[in-house]
Structure 1
Amino acid sequence: MLKTTRRALRALTPSLGRTMTRFGLGSPGAPHPTTHQTDQTGQEQADHDQISLESVLDIPVRDMSGDSTAARAIQDRGQFLARQDRWDELACDIRAADRARTVAPGGVLRAELLAYGARCDVVSAVDHVLTEGAEAQDPALLSGVMALEAVRQEHRHDPYVNLVVAQAHTDIGWAWQGAGKAATLPALHRQRCAAHFDRAAHLLEPFDAITLDSPAIAAAQCALLVRRAEPASRLADRYGDLIDLDPTNYRAMRALGAYLLPRAGGALGTLELEARRTAARTQSIWGAGGYAWVSFDAIAQDSAACNQVDVGFFIDGLHDIVAARPGQEMINLLAAYCAVTLRRDKDAGAPDSPRARIAACASWLIRDHLTELHPLIWAHAAQGFDNNARVTSPQRFAARGRADALRAIADQFRDDLDRGLRIIFTPDGPITVNA
């Protein structure tokens, strides 16, 4: 059995075109937004505008390749240990990272990266053959996951081996669903999708995340609750458990808010209640930030949710987030959210609308706290931090993020620029000099 398992796992193509998906953690690191199509004339004008802005805006640009390389090295370790059938060692690594809540460069949890690396061969192979229009009987659709199931049989009582296999089933379920809605899928796709999700839930059911002190298992269970359309109250309770297990992980709070929207089966009243509850339970870490995190993606996606948000509480939350996490990665995230994500809605409303008042926070975030530019964060912000889309050219994607950021920064210094001044960002903040 083990030789068969090894051959099946190693024969799979190690393509990593799809990143970790549907963890129920909002924006898990590196989403894959789609590529915009721009005609040549428009691209030339955009390039000209960027060159003009770069001549008057001097801001250090952070190359994120180091973070990506470090995160990829962790993922590669998970992949290597799985290929070598060193599952005891892999489970030990995931358990240690999970209990320590270790975060990799770039903000993704180390346990998530290890677990994804362990299953990425299987998931990527299925994703590839489905994208290529494989027949339902194609052996690649089952051979990899059956190899993982064989591994799981030998480690059936280990929660972290079960976690890897369950997450593989979850990812494959989403691959069968694709970008469409479950109700419009062909019958076969619906059946395969449901079967994989059911299997994932069955594998995780015996394990109590709180008893195990495991945010990773709690997150995987939350992701399945979302797919199975559980009542909003149950979803909120389970996400509450996850947040209690790791209150420093703001991605869980963002996911909770998004999944409590009416379009996901929730209700605006429940969203507001849980945002306030989360702020109370995480006050010692985030201040009012818990309210902002739960509302973060929800108000960007839903105008009704935005219109009901307590703007003062949300803005207090932004200030408290900056106080708790003053690093430039966080400042870029919040500034890009206010300057780009919230302004994507053409019906943003009057200048005193909730959306406009929160978007205006870009001013103090950029003027008082920004010292360097992280283009990829701005690029993700332009796509609403969508986890389901893809990047066809990372270079063009980052370049668009850089251009969006420069325009947003220029907007904050328009009067200075119109007077012919140049803006230089120093470690102590921006200064103006003669151009």
Structure 2
Amino acid sequence: MRKWFAPRSAPARDDAAPRRSTEDIDSLAKRIIVPSLPVSDEEMARATHQDRGQKLARQEAWDTLSDKIQYADHTRLATPGGETASLLLAAGARSDIVAAAEDALHDGQHPPDDAIEALEEVLDEMPGDYPSALVVALAHIDIAWAWRNIAARDDPAAAARAIARHIASADAILEPYDGTAIDAPSIAAARCALIAACDKRGRRVAEEYEALITLDPDGHRHIRALGRHILPPYAGGVKALEVAARRVAARTEDTWGAGAYAWAYLDALALDPRALDLLEPGFFIEGLRDILARKDDQHIINLLAAFCAITMAPGAGGRVLPPQADRTRAEIHDCVDWILEHHLQELHPLIWSQTLLMPGHAPLLPSRRALIAKGRQTALRIIAARFAGHIADGSSLAFSRQGMYRLPAL
């Protein structure tokens, strides 16, 4: 176990201490010494798969793309942070079509049908090829979401028709394929994405995700998506989320311990603090520890640290919580201390800025350089504030493979 190398006389963090000013925190943050990666291994791995998918689609090398998606499926290939390689390849392959549709909608235009129709020609050229069906079906689902998110407010009737048409097309394309039968988690994930895009989800959300997670229990993204998609009332709501989280934790105990319980709640809590109402904090925190015991990856560590520090911060989301939910949030928020102390070795600033700014909800995001700077500043200020008592005497905090330790003032 990593050790905390501060002298015994180092003051413990005191939540009751007077709140320090922004200037004080900024000054203390200058004495936090931790490597910062503008581009992480996880980002590079994701980009490699997506770029490969995009390049092969542009070259119309569908046979090669199909082989790579099938290989990624059957080997359960994933990035260091756990992103599914087959889905990243498919995302790259459809990215040009989806981006063009989104651009048209942002310009107040209806996306032309010729682009998606040209993509559908691949299905005729490669009958029975599930990776090709995967790419086309997910393109339809993405375009349906684009209509809902971009155009539904200004032209609800046209959006409703377009959404229904694209969802029906995706359903028809996926209908011949059974992800379990052909050992293809990507197809099972596409079916889950299809249900999530429908207005009426009901019990099918839990059922389809159960099949997907059984196929690929290591894929924590699937478990996170389950919590996110079952949360809305028409899909089950908070009660269904708690049931699903416990069920998936039991089913994946050999893989994640209690970790799946935490994964299932992670995105749901970011979307709606009411998910705290039924959450069992002790089980959730046990889940965090089990995740890090099994996946001691710096991408995951930054992700969970930023979640605890920012998403679970007091007053986050601007919603006043009932006393029990507020206590639960505080318990999770305090987990940032042991995650930083025992696990953090390097900062991934984009994770911190994305957690802070909630991409997808903000209409315009700053440049990548600004996001990296903001993420680093946010992380360093949070670390400084949490451990201010340890460095108030002029000493510094440093992070390495041996854990967090204190450097005395010169």
What TM-score do the two structures reach when normalised by structure 1? Answer: 0.82
Q: Would the aligned equivalents of 2:144 and 2:163 in 1 still touch at CA under 8 Å? A: yes
Partner of 1:201: 171
Rounded to whole Å, the distance in 2 between the matches of 1:377 and 1:306 is: 23
Counterpart of 1:154, as a letter, is E
Long gaps (5+) in structure 1: 1-44
Q: Does 1:148 align with 2:119?
A: yes
Alpha-carbon distance change, 406 to 263 in structure 1, aligned in 2, over 3 angstroms: farther
Alpha-carbon distance change, 121 to 299 in structure 1, aligned in 2, over 3 angstroms: closer
Rounded to whole Å, the distance in 2 between the matches of 1:311 and 1:112 is: 32
Alpha-carbon distance change, 130 to 379 in structure 1, aligned in 2, over 3 angstroms: same
- Higher mean alpha-carbon deviation, 262-271 vs 360-369, is at 262-271
Q: SS of 2:404's equivalent? A: strand
| CA displacement 1:354-412 (0-9 Å, x = unmatched) | 11111111111111221211111111221346588663401111111111111111122
Q: Does 1:178 align with 2:149?
A: yes
Q: Would the aligned equivalents of 2:28 and 2:388 in 1 still touch at CA under 8 Å? A: no
Q: Does 1:359 align with 2:329?
A: no
Partner of 1:422: 396
* The one of 105, 108, 117 aligned to 1:133: 108
The aligned runs of 1:33-432 (5 Å cut-off) are 52-64=27-39, 67-105=42-80, 107-134=82-109, 136=110, 141-179=112-150, 185-343=155-313, 344-346=316-318, 347=320, 353-384=327-358, 386=360, 391-432=365-406
Q: Would the aligned equivalents of 2:53 and 2:89 in 1 still touch at CA under 8 Å? A: yes
Partner of 1:36: none
Rounded to whole Å, the distance in 1 between the matches of 2:363 and 2:42 is: 21
Rounded to whole Å, the distance in 1 between the matches of 2:176 and 2:209 is: 18
| CA displacement 1:111-155 (0-9 Å, x = unmatched) | 122112221221111111221222x4xxx6211111111121111
Alpha-carbon distance change, 309 to 369 in structure 1, aligned in 2, over 3 angstroms: same
Rounded to whole Å, the distance in 2 between the matches of 1:284 and 1:247 is: 9
Q: Would the aligned equivalents of 1:378 and 1:402 in 2 still touch at CA under 8 Å? A: yes
Rounded to whole Å, the distance in 1 between the matches of 2:70 and 2:127 is: 16
Q: SS of 2:250's equivalent? A: helix
Q: Would the aligned equivalents of 1:50 and 1:403 in 2 still touch at CA under 8 Å? A: no
The sequence identity of aligned pairs, in percent, is 41
Alpha-carbon distance change, 117 to 394 in structure 1, aligned in 2, over 3 angstroms: same
Q: Would the aligned equivalents of 1:341 and 1:384 in 2 still touch at CA under 8 Å? A: no
Alpha-carbon distance change, 279 to 387 in structure 1, aligned in 2, over 3 angstroms: farther
Counterpart of 2:343, as a letter, is H
Alpha-carbon distance change, 113 to 302 in structure 1, aligned in 2, over 3 angstroms: closer
Q: Would the aligned equivalents of 1:349 and 1:355 in 2 still touch at CA under 8 Å? A: no
Rounded to whole Å, the distance in 2 between the matches of 1:272 and 1:208 is: 28
Alpha-carbon distance change, 163 to 66 in structure 1, aligned in 2, over 3 angstroms: same
Q: SS of 1:130's equivalent? A: helix
Counterpart of 1:300, as a letter, is A
Q: SS of 2:405's equivalent? A: strand
Rounded to whole Å, the distance in 2 between the matches of 1:145 and 1:262 is: 30
Cα displacement (A) at 1:299: 2.7
Cα displacement (A) at 1:73: 3.0
- Aligned pairs, how many? 385
- Higher mean alpha-carbon deviation, 308-317 vs 112-121, is at 112-121
Long gaps (5+) in structure 2: 1-20
Rounded to whole Å, the distance in 1 between the matches of 2:322 and 2:57 is: 52
Cα displacement (A) at 1:201: 1.0
Rounded to whole Å, the distance in 2 between the matches of 1:132 and 1:284 is: 49
Q: Would the aligned equivalents of 1:256 and 1:294 in 2 still touch at CA under 8 Å? A: yes
Rounded to whole Å, the distance in 2 between the matches of 1:416 and 1:409 is: 11
Rounded to whole Å, the distance in 2 between the matches of 1:174 and 1:318 is: 31
Alpha-carbon distance change, 388 to 120 in structure 1, aligned in 2, over 3 angstroms: farther
Rounded to whole Å, the distance in 2 between the matches of 1:288 and 1:353 is: 21
Rounded to whole Å, the distance in 2 between the matches of 1:376 and 1:338 is: 16
Partner of 1:24: none
Alpha-carbon distance change, 240 to 328 in structure 1, aligned in 2, over 3 angstroms: same
- Higher mean alpha-carbon deviation, 219-228 vs 83-92, is at 83-92
Rounded to whole Å, the distance in 2 between the matches of 1:69 and 1:319 is: 27
Partner of 1:4: none
Rounded to whole Å, the distance in 1 between the matches of 2:149 and 2:317 is: 25
Partner of 1:39: none
Counterpart of 1:232, as a letter, is G
Q: Would the aligned equivalents of 1:341 and 1:383 in 2 still touch at CA under 8 Å? A: no
| CA displacement 1:318-376 (0-9 Å, x = unmatched) | 11111111121111111110001112234356697111111111111111221211111
Rounded to whole Å, the distance in 1 between the matches of 2:222 and 2:42 is: 21
Rounded to whole Å, the distance in 1 between the matches of 2:51 and 2:268 is: 33
What TM-score do the two structures reach when normalised by structure 2? Answer: 0.87
CA RMSD for the aligned pairs? 2.4
Q: SS of 2:407's equivalent? A: strand
- Higher mean alpha-carbon deviation, 236-245 vs 385-394, is at 385-394
Q: Would the aligned equivalents of 1:215 and 1:242 in 2 still touch at CA under 8 Å? A: yes
Q: SS of 2:112's equivalent? A: helix
Q: SS of 2:376's equivalent? A: helix
Alpha-carbon distance change, 208 to 291 in structure 1, aligned in 2, over 3 angstroms: same
Rounded to whole Å, the distance in 2 between the matches of 1:262 and 1:146 is: 33
Q: SS of 1:371's equivalent? A: coil
